[in-house]
Chain A
Amino acid sequence: MIGKLFHRTRKPHPPLGERPFDLLCLTVAVVLGVHAPHIPVLLSTALAATLGLRWWQRRRYGGRAPAYLKLPLVALLAAVVIFQYGNLFGREPGAALAVGLLVLKLLETESPRDARVGAAFACFTLMAALLFDQGMVATFVVALGLVPALGTLRALEPSNTPTRLDRELLPPLRLLAVSLPLALLAFVLVPRLNSPLWGAPNPAQSSTGLSDEMSPGEFSELLNDDRAAMRVSFDGSPPANAERYFRAYVLPNYDGVRWKRADMQAPPAPVLAGRSITYTVTLEANNQRVLPALDVPLQAPSQAQLGAAREVLADRPVTDVRTYTVRSALDYRLQPDLDPLERRLDLQLPPGYNPRTRELGLRWRTQHGHDDASIVRSALQLFHDGGFRYTLGPAPLGRNAMDDFLFSTHEGFCEHYASAFTVLMRAAGIPARVVTGYQGGYWSTLGNYLLLRQSDAHAWSEVWLAGSGWVRVDPTASVRADHVDQGSAGSAAASSDWSPNQWWLGLRNHWDIVNRWWNQGVIGFDTLRQHGLLTPFGLHDADAGTLGMLLAIGGSLFAVLGLAWALWQRPTTDPARAAMLLLERRLATVGVARRHNEGPQHYFSRAARALPAQRADLERLKRTYLELRYAHEQPPAELLKNFRRAARDFRPRRVVK
Chain B
Amino acid sequence: MLATYRRLQAWAERRLPALTRYKRPESLPITLHRRRIYIVPTGFGAGFTVLLLVMLVGSLNYNNNAALLLTCLLGAASAASMLVAFRSLNGLRLGAIRQGQALAGEPLDLHLVFEGGDHVHPSVHAELDKQAMAFTASSGETRIILQLATTQRGWQALPRFKLWSNWPLGLFHAWSWIHPDHAVLVWPRPELAGPPPLLPDDSEQRRRLHQGEDIAALRDYRAGDPTRHIAWKHSARHEHLLVKDFEQPESQEEWRLDWRQLQALPNETRIARLARWLGEAEAVGRPTSLWLPDEEIGMGHGPSHYAHCMNALARLP
| B68 sits at the interface (CB 8 A) | yes
* CB neighbors of A among B53-69 (8 A): 54-69
CB pair A566 B90 closer than 8 Å = yes
User: A567-588 CB contact bits vs B (8 Å, 1 = yes)?
Assistant: 1011000000000000000000
CB pair B60 A179 closer than 8 Å = no
CB distance from B166 to the nearest CB of A (A): 6
Known: A127-B55, A182-B79, A184-B72. A159 touches B136 (CB 8 A): yes
Bound-state CA distance A416–B64 (Å) is: 40
Chain A hits for B170, CB < 8 A: 116, 153, 156-157
CB pair B168 A171 closer than 8 Å = yes
Query: A320 — nearest CB in chain B belongs to which residue?
Result: B63
Known: A158-B123, A196-B63, A567-B90. A522 touches B80 (CB 8 A): no
CB pair A179 B67 closer than 8 Å = no
Chain B hits for A123, CB < 8 A: 51, 55, 74
CB distance from A415 to the nearest CB of B (A): 35
Chain B hits for A120, CB < 8 A: 44, 47-48, 51
Bound-state CA distance A611–B47 (Å) is: 60
CB distance from A147 to the nearest CB of B (A): 10
Selected contact of A183 from candidates B26, B67, B72, B81, CB within 8 Å: B72
| A71 sits at the interface (CB 8 A) | no
CB distance from B92 to the nearest CB of A (A): 11
* CB neighbors of B among A104-129 (8 A): 113, 116, 120, 123-124, 126-127
| A192 sits at the interface (CB 8 A) | yes
Query: B71 — nearest CB in chain A belongs to which residue?
Result: A127
| B294 sits at the interface (CB 8 A) | no
CB pair B122 A179 closer than 8 Å = no
| A178 sits at the interface (CB 8 A) | yes
Known: A197-B61, A569-B91. A157 touches B123 (CB 8 A): yes
User: A510-542 CB contact bits vs B (8 Å, 1 = yes)?
Assistant: 000000000000111110000000000000000
Known: A156-B170, A161-B122, A183-B76. A134 touches B70 (CB 8 A): no
Chain B hits for A178, CB < 8 A: 80
CB distance from B174 to the nearest CB of A (A): 11
CB pair B77 A176 closer than 8 Å = yes
CB pair A563 B62 closer than 8 Å = no
Known: A156-B170, A159-B136, A196-B61. A597 touches B67 (CB 8 A): no
Chain A hits for B51, CB < 8 A: 120, 123-124
CB pair B64 A131 closer than 8 Å = yes
Q: Looking at chain A's contact residues, is the secondary structure mostly helix, strand, loop, or mixed?
A: helix
Bound-state CA distance A487–B66 (Å) is: 32
Chain B hits for A150, CB < 8 A: 77, 169
CB pair B66 A134 closer than 8 Å = yes
CB pair B54 A116 closer than 8 Å = no
* CB neighbors of A among B21-60 (8 A): 26-29, 34, 44, 47-48, 51, 54-60
Chain A hits for B119, CB < 8 A: 570
Bound-state CA distance A223–B261 (Å) is: 112
| A190 sits at the interface (CB 8 A) | yes
CB distance from B172 to the nearest CB of A (A): 11
Chain B hits for A522, CB < 8 A: 65-66, 69
CB pair A176 B65 closer than 8 Å = no
User: B6-30 CB contact bits vs A (8 Å, 1 = yes)?
Assistant: 0000000000000000000011110
Which of B68, B76, B125, B171 is the most central at the interface, judged by chain A CB atoms within 10 Å of its CB?
Answer: B76
Chain A hits for B123, CB < 8 A: 157-159
CB pair A175 B66 closer than 8 Å = no
Query: B37 — nearest CB in chain A belongs to which residue?
Result: A566
Known: A596-B27, A597-B28. A139 touches B48 (CB 8 A): no
CB distance from A188 to the nearest CB of B (A): 9
Selected contact of B73 from candidates A131, A183, A524, A570, CB within 8 Å: A183
CB pair B48 A124 closer than 8 Å = no
Chain B hits for A66, CB < 8 A: none
Chain B hits for A180, CB < 8 A: 73, 76
| B175 sits at the interface (CB 8 A) | no
* CB neighbors of B among A578-614 (8 A): 596-597
| A160 sits at the interface (CB 8 A) | yes
CB pair A130 B66 closer than 8 Å = yes
Query: A146 — nearest CB in chain B belongs to which residue?
Result: B74
Chain A hits for B118, CB < 8 A: 569-570
CB pair B65 A523 closer than 8 Å = yes
| B105 sits at the interface (CB 8 A) | no
Known: A134-B66, A143-B70, A523-B66. A157 touches B168 (CB 8 A): yes
| A507 sits at the interface (CB 8 A) | no
Bound-state CA distance A107–B122 (Å) is: 30
CB pair B64 A596 closer than 8 Å = no
CB pair A200 B61 closer than 8 Å = yes
Bound-state CA distance A569–B65 (Å) is: 39
Known: A154-B168, A569-B117. A190 touches B68 (CB 8 A): yes
CB distance from B297 to the nearest CB of A (A): 30
Query: B125 — nearest CB in chain A belongs to which residue?
Result: A158
Known: A200-B62, A523-B65. A175 touches B75 (CB 8 A): no
CB pair A124 B73 closer than 8 Å = no
Known: A157-B166, A196-B61. A139 touches B76 (CB 8 A): no
CB distance from A442 to the nearest CB of B (A): 25
List, sorted by A's number, 24 A–B pairs whose CB atoms are closer than 8 Å.
Answer: A123-B74, A127-B59, A135-B66, A142-B70, A143-B69, A146-B74, A153-B168, A153-B169, A157-B122, A179-B79, A183-B77, A184-B72, A190-B56, A192-B63, A193-B60, A193-B61, A193-B63, A200-B61, A522-B65, A562-B83, A565-B83, A566-B90, A569-B91, A597-B29
Q: Top 8 closest A-B pairs, CB basis?
A: A179-B76, A570-B118, A182-B76, A134-B66, A158-B134, A183-B76, A183-B73, A183-B72
B residues near A, CB below 8 A? 26-29, 34, 44, 47-48, 51, 54-77, 79-81, 83-84, 86-87, 90-91, 117-119, 122-123, 125, 134-136, 165-171
A residues near B, CB below 8 A? 113, 116, 120, 123-124, 126-127, 130-131, 134-135, 138-139, 142-143, 146, 150, 153-154, 156-161, 171-172, 175-176, 178-180, 182-184, 186-187, 190, 192-193, 196-198, 200-201, 320, 522-526, 562-563, 565-567, 569-570, 596-597
